[in-house]
Chain A
Amino acid sequence: MTQVEQERELQAQFDAVVARHDRIEPRDWMPEGYRKTLVRQIAQHAHSEIIGMQPEGNWITRAPSLRRKATLLAKVQDEAGHGLYLYSACETLGVSRAELTELLIEGKQKYSSIFNYPTLSYADVGTIGWLVDGAAIANQVPLCRTSYGPYGRAMIRICKEESFHQRQGFELLMTMMRGTDAQRAMVQESVDRFWWPALMMFGPPDDASPNTAQSMAWGIKRDTNDELRQKFVDMTVPQAERLGVTLPDPAIAWNAERGHYDFGEPDWEEFAAVVRGEGPCNAQRIAHRRRAHEEGAWVREAASAFAAQQAAAQQAQEVSA
Chain B
Amino acid sequence: MNDDSVYDGLLGGDDSQWAFGTDFEDPLAGVDTTLPEGVDGAALAAYCLMLGDDALVLSHRLSEWCSNAPDLEEDIALANVALDLLGQARLLLARAAAADPSVVPVLPEGSPVPPEDALAFFRDQDAFRNVRLVEGDRGDFAVTTVRLLVASTWRLALMQRLATSRDAVLSAIAAKAVKELAYHRDHAARWVVTLGSGTEESRRRTEAALATVWPLRWELDRTHEVERTLAADGVAVDPADVAAEVDVLLDQVLAAAGLEVPEVKRTGGLGGRTGRDGVHTEALGKVLAEMQSVARAHPAGRW
Contact = CB atoms under 8 A, between A and B. Distances in A.
Direct A–B contact present (CB less than 8 angstroms): yes
B69 interface: yes
B75 to A, nearest CB: 5
Interface string A123-155: 000000000000001000110100000000000
A283 interface: no
A159 interface: yes
A141 B80 CA distance: 27
Contact of B199 (A67, A71, A302): A302
B13 to A, nearest CB: 7
A167 B6 contact: no
Nearest to B205: A298
B133 to A, nearest CB: 19
29 contacts: A53-B67, A62-B293, A64-B117, A64-B295, A64-B298, A65-B117, A66-B24, A66-B93, A67-B22, A70-B20, A71-B20, A73-B20, A74-B79, A77-B79, A137-B7, A159-B6, A160-B6, A163-B9, A163-B10, A164-B17, A171-B22, A176-B301, A179-B112, A180-B302, A183-B302, A296-B74, A297-B70, A300-B70, A301-B199
Interface in B273-303: 290-291, 293-295, 298, 300-303
Interface string B163-198: 000000000000000000000000000000111011
Interface string A47-87: 00010011001011111111111110110111011011001
B198 A64 contact: no
Interface size class, chain B: 35 or more
Given A65-B295, A306-B194, A76 B3 contact: no
A288 interface: yes
Nearest to B61: A61
A126 to B, nearest CB: 10
Given A70-B24, A162-B6, A183-B302, A57 B117 contact: no
Contacts of B73: 84
Contacts, number: 205
Interface string A157-186: 001111110111011100110111011000
A305 B195 CA distance: 9
A292 interface: yes
B66 interface: yes
B66 A296 contact: no
B18 A182 contact: no
A70 B87 contact: yes
Dominant secondary structure at the A interface = helix
Interface string B52-88: 0000000010011011111111111001101100110
B3 A141 contact: yes
A284 interface: no
Contacts of A237: none
A62 B294 contact: yes
By Cβ-Cβ distance, the 9 closest A-B pairs, closest first, are: A302-B198, A296-B70, A302-B202, A179-B302, A299-B70, A77-B79, A64-B295, A53-B67, A64-B294
A295 B68 contact: yes
Contacts of A306: 193-194, 197-198
Contacts of B93: 66
Contacts of B82: 73
B76 A176 contact: no
Nearest to A242: B11
A37 B1 CA distance: 25
B45 interface: no
Nearest to B194: A306
B258 to A, nearest CB: 11
Contact of A299 (B1, B11, B195): B195
